[in-house]
Structure formats: structure tokens, C-alpha cells
Structure 1
Amino acid sequence: MQYRNLGRTGVKVSPLCLGTMMFGGPTDETESTRIIHKAIDHGINFIDTADMYAGGKSEEIVGRAIADRRDNVVLATKGRQKMGDGPNDQGGSRMYLMRALDRSLKRLNLDYVDIYYYHAPHEDTPIDETLRAMDDMVRSGRVRYIAVSNFRAWRVCEALWTSDRLGLDRFVCVQPLYNIVNRDIEVELLPLCEAYEL
């Protein structure tokens, strides 16, 4: 397996990342664990999950599956999406994201994650509040790197500029929607990622 740098960090990740959105839903724990172990055995060291995947079950399964292989895995999870019925059970506020991270770590049965993604924009929260919270996550040691998912190029650029202006940790990678039908990222987001080493 040939590995690549994660953005402009020194962390090496496999070019393929194992996504776990279906784990705990259509894919039961036994099969999910088999898939995870097989991927690791074949050199895939990058695993992605999220708090909202199967209502948190994906994180629980991933945590158990990698428990004895933690040092061989670059683990990413995400926070921001709706995880309850209350008005503050989603979003990009410091209050919500800190709680979301705590709950993810509990489900994963870990003290830290390697990458914590801000899962999508939240119109009601200024990006500087979100970035300050994520910077504090890194400084606390509970997150190694921060990243972003489902952002348009201008929002990624705004976040990078805000991080630089305020002296905060910056996003190291981007996870966009990309498939054979939806190739919008080729126009602006991919060139931005190349220019900013994401």
C-alpha cells in the first residue's frame, strides 16, 4: 500500500478511506467488524464514521472493532447533525460541538480521535465560534486534527482565512459529496484544496 500525507500534515493515510455509514444499520456488527479487520489487514489505515451514522451505532461498532488495533488506524468522526429533539441538539455552536465530541468519544470508547469533521455548515452559528471550539478540542488533546465535510469552496476558504486571522488550528482535509453524477467539486473545491494543501 502506498500512503499519502493527510493535507499538509505529516500523517500518512491510505488513498482509500473506509466509510462506515451503513455499519449498525443494514450491515450488522459481525459483518462490519469483518470488513474493518479485512481493510486494516490489507493496509487501509483511514477509517471514517460520524455520530449520526445509524444513530451512533456505527461509532460503537468501529470503536470495538479497532480496540486492539488503535495504533494502526487514523480514525475520523464527525459532529454537527441533529442527534436529539432539543433546539441545541445540532449545529456548530461551542455548546453543541463539545457535547457531540464527548458523546462520540464515549461511543467509540476512546480518549481522542485523529480527525474531527465539522459535518456541514450551520447558518445560525458564526464560523469563528465553531473554529474556536474545534481549536479548543485540539488543545485539549481530544482531537488531533480538524476537518470539514459538505462545505462549498467559498465556505472552506472563509474558514481557512478565519483560522489564519485568529491564529486557530485550520482544517487539514475536506470530505465533499462526489460521485459520477455530482462532480461539482471539480470546478472550485478541488483547485482550492490543491492550492491550500487540503
Structure 2
Amino acid sequence: MHYRRLGKSNLKVSSLCLGTMMFGRQTPFEEAANILASARAHGLNFIDTADVYNHGQSERDVGQLLKGQRNDWVLASKLGNAVSDVVNESHYARRWLIQETDAILGRLQTDYLDILYLHRDYPEENLEETVQALGDLIRAGKIRSFGLSNFRGWRIADVYRLCEKAGVPSPSVCQPYYHLL
């Protein structure tokens, strides 16, 4: 397996990342265990999941499967989709962002994420508050870095500008709308 540095981070990741969107419902736990073992046997060390994948069950399954192996994997999760009907418990409000990160860590049974992605852009969101909260999560050791997923170019530029202004490390990686493998 070929490994490369992930974005601006010092993390070395396999060329392929194991996406777990189907874990938890479409992919039963036993099959997910076989997939994860096969991925590891083939040199993969990078897992991507999200809080909304099967209502958090994907994260719970990954957490169970990584017991005793956490240091062998680069673990990424995403947040930002509404997981509650409560108005301020969604997107990137500071309180919710920190609360949902803690919930993700609990489901994954780990004390840190290598990468926390903002799953999608919400143009009405105050990204200054979001960037400050991400900086606090980095300083607290709950996330090593953060990334952006499905953000438009001009909003990515806004995040970089806000990070510089706030003294927060900028995103280490972006998952764009379109990409080549």
C-alpha cells in the first residue's frame, strides 16, 4: 500500500480510505468486521465515518471494531447535519459543535479524532464562532485537526482567513464536491 501525507497534517494515510457510510444498517456488524480486517490486511489505515451515518450506528460499530487497534488507524468523522429537531442543536453553533464532538468520541470509544470534518456548508452560519470552537477542540486534544467537506471555494477561503485571524490552525484537508482518486 502506498501512503501519503494528508494535506497539511503530519498524518500518513493509505492511498485509499475506508468509508463506513453503509456500516450499521446495510452492512451488518459481522460483515463490517470482515471488511475492516480485510482493509487492514491490505494496508489501509484510514477510516472515514460521520455522525449521521445510520443515526450514529456506523460510529458505534467502528468504535467496537477498533478496540485495541486505535493507534493503528487514522480516524476521521464528520458532523454538521441535523441530528435533532432542537433548533440550536445542529450545524456549527459552538455549544452544539462541542457537544456533538463529545458524542462522536463516545460512539467511537476514543478520546480523540485525527480529523473532524465539517460535513457541509451552511451559508447562514457564523464561521467565526465555528473556527473558535474548533480551535478549542484542538487545544483540548479532542481533535488533532479539522477538515471541510462539501464547501464551496469562497467559503473555504473564508475559513482560512478566519483561522489566521483567530490564531487557529487552518483545515488540514478538504473533501471537495468533485475529485479524482
What TM-score range do you get, normalising by the shorter chain?
over 0.9
Cα drift, residue 114 of structure 1: 0.7
User: What's the CA shift for 1:130?
Assistant: 0.6
Unmatched 5+ stretches in structure 1: 179-184, 187-198
For residue 156 of structure 1, what is the amino acid of its counterpart? I
Instruction: Spell out the pairing of 1:5-20 with structure 2 (5 A cutoff).
Output: 5-20=5-20
Q: Which residue of 2 aligns with 1:177?
A: 177
Post-superposition Cα deviations, 1:18-47, rounded to whole Å, max 9, x if no partner, equal: 100010121111111111121012111010
The structure 1 segments of at least 4 consecutive aligned residues displaced by more than 3 Å after TM superposition are none
Q: Which residue of 1 aligns with 2:31?
A: 31
SS in 2 for 1:103: helix
| Match of residue 132 from structure 1 | 132
- For residues 85 and 92 of structure 2, the distance between their equivalents in structure 1, rounded to whole angstroms, comes to 16
CA–CA distance in structure 1, aligned partners of residues 177 and 56 of structure 2? 21
Provide TM-score, normalisation by structure 2: 0.95
Identity over the aligned pairs, expressed in percent?
Answer: 40
- For 1:168 and 1:156, the matched residues in 2 are separated by 14
**CA deviation map 1:29-83 (0-9, x unaligned):** 1111111121012111010000000000000000111112111100000111111
Alignment RMSD (CA, Å): 1.3
> 3-state DSSP class of the match of 1:63?
helix
Question: Is this contact kept in 2: 1:37–1:65, CA < 8 A?
Answer: no
> 1:7, 1:173 within 8 Å by CA — same for their partners in 2?
yes
Q: Please tell me whether the aligned partners of residues 92 and 121 of structure 1 are also in contact (alpha carbons under 8 angstroms).
A: no
- The within-5 A match list for 1:137-176 is 137-176=137-176
SS at match of 2:106: helix
**1:99 corresponding residue in structure 2:** 99
1:70-81 matches, within 5 Å, as: 70-81=70-81
Tell me the matched-pair count. Answer: 180
SS at match of 1:144: strand
Deviation at 1:138, TM superposition (A): 0.5
CA distance in 2, matches of 1:165, 1:81: 26
Q: What are structure 2's unaligned runs of at least 5 residues?
A: none
Letter in 2 for 1:30: E
What is the alpha-carbon distance in structure 2 between the residues aligned to residue 124 and residue 157 of structure 1? 16
Counterpart amino acid of 1:146? F
Provide TM-score, normalisation by structure 1.
Answer: 0.87
- Structure 2 counterparts to residues 41-60 of structure 1, below 5 A: 41-60=41-60
Query: Counterpart amino acid of 2:42?
Result: H
How far did 1:89 drift? 2.3
The residue identity in structure 2 corresponding to 1:22 is M
| Residue 62 (structure 2) aligns with | 62
**1:141 is matched by which residue type in structure 2?**
G
1-side partners of 2:101 and 2:5: how far apart? 25
Cα displacement string for residues 149-178 of structure 1 (whole angstroms, at most 9, x for unaligned residues): 110111111111211122112100011233
Cα deviation for residue 111 of structure 1 reads 0.7
